[in-house]
Amino acid sequence: MSIHPSAIVAPGAVVPESCTVGPFSTIGPEVVLGEECRLISHVVIDGRTRIGARNTFYPFSNIGVAPQDLKYKGELTETVLGDDNTIRESVTISRGTVGGGGVTRLGSHNLLMTCAHVGHDCHVGSHVIMANAATLAGHVILEDFVTLGAFCPVHQFCIVGAHAFIGGGTIVTQDVLPFSKTSSRRENKAYGVNAMGLERRGFSPERIKALQKAFRLLLVSKLNTTQALEKMRELEGEDVALLVRFIEKSERGVIK
């Protein structure tokens, strides 16, 4: 086990021999690390936190720290991370609250760039990219393969659908359509299908064309949302069906 002499590992913490704990890092007594994790230096991991294998934490990242919620009174809540995540400098991930389900969860194969923030009770999927200073307020859901641009704040209780791409500086106050490109120029708008991202992930031309047809009904036609959904239900493909279900279940409304 490689633990720098200046690091502090509390009694009770589980740190496998394959892990590396760099200078001035602090690991709390209820932390469980998976195999081959790397804490480069000045990393704080606190609270009841379970971390999978092969995660890398860069300097000044803070994981499992108390939520920034005035209602939190020290209750036993959790933070859970999957495998193969890269957590860059000064990233903060707050543990959950009793009122929000008690768990903040991050999947696997995610990249959180410098100064990104994951608030209490957020659920982040896998293969997600949060660019520099992207921030999630409490209770946010990011589904798989989301790309969140730099300096994007996401409002409480919003859901960002799978494969969505959000341009830098966009203030997200409603749910973001799966498969969409959404950005803020003068106002927040969805700009159609994230075709390039879907191609990179192996979507066939037929799947992309079906989604483009659905997005034209939703965004370009003169139909209102209810009328567009009726037409979209007539289209074939599980991707379109997923899009329809997402809109039907949205409580905050979706960005169109």
Residues with a catalytic annotation lie at 120-121, 138
One-letter amino acid at 212 equals Q
Check the CA dihedral 230-232-238-243 and report its sign: negative
- In the three-class reduction of DSSP (H, G, I as helix; E, B as strand; rest coil), residue 220 is classed as helix
Give CB contacts under 8 A, 24+ apart, made by 148-151.
149/183, 150/113
- For the chain, the C-alpha Rg in angstroms (whole number) is 20
- In the three-class reduction of DSSP (H, G, I as helix; E, B as strand; rest coil), residue 222 is classed as coil
Check the CA dihedral 29-30-31-32 and report its sign: positive
**What does the alpha-carbon distance between residue 13 and residue 30 come to, in Å, rounded to a whole number?**
6
**What does the alpha-carbon distance between residue 168 and residue 157 come to, in Å, rounded to a whole number?**
20
143 DSSP 8-state letter: -
Is residue 84 within 8 A of residue 100, CB to CB? The reply is: no
